[in-house]
Amino acid sequence: MHICIEMVGEKDIVLPIHYNNITQGFIYNMIDRELSGFLHNKGYGEGRKFKLFCFSNIIGRSHIDRKSNNIIFKTPIKLEISSPDEYFCAYSGLFGQYFREYPDNKTGYIRTPCHVL
């Protein structure tokens, strides 16, 4: 399943240039706690562990502030998440159309309308 999230904030969204771990944390915080713990701590498979979801870079207008080593996004921004795991998609909190608010000390609140493609 492919999920596309569009996020709108009142201020620019400021992230470090290497922000993938922040994006991954955002996703883990949005999904069911039990599933989040399983994926983060155990995953699927023997030996090498698989999380069975992937995500895009943040999509939107941006520029890099080389002095602070940050990337500054103008809202709205988009994030695409994919997973073959039906449980992840059905119980992730990303499923359906609704708004969630996530506090962030640099952007205020990000309202997130979610829809499934």
Q: What is the pTM of this model?
A: 0.74
CATH assignment of the domain containing 36: 3.30.70.1890
Which residues constitute the domain of residue 97? 2-116
Q: Give the separation between CA 115 and CA 117, rounded to whole angstroms.
A: 7
Count the domains in the chain: 1
pLDDT in tens, 31-87: 878 888 888 888 888 887 888 889 999 999 999 999 999 999 998 888 888 888 877
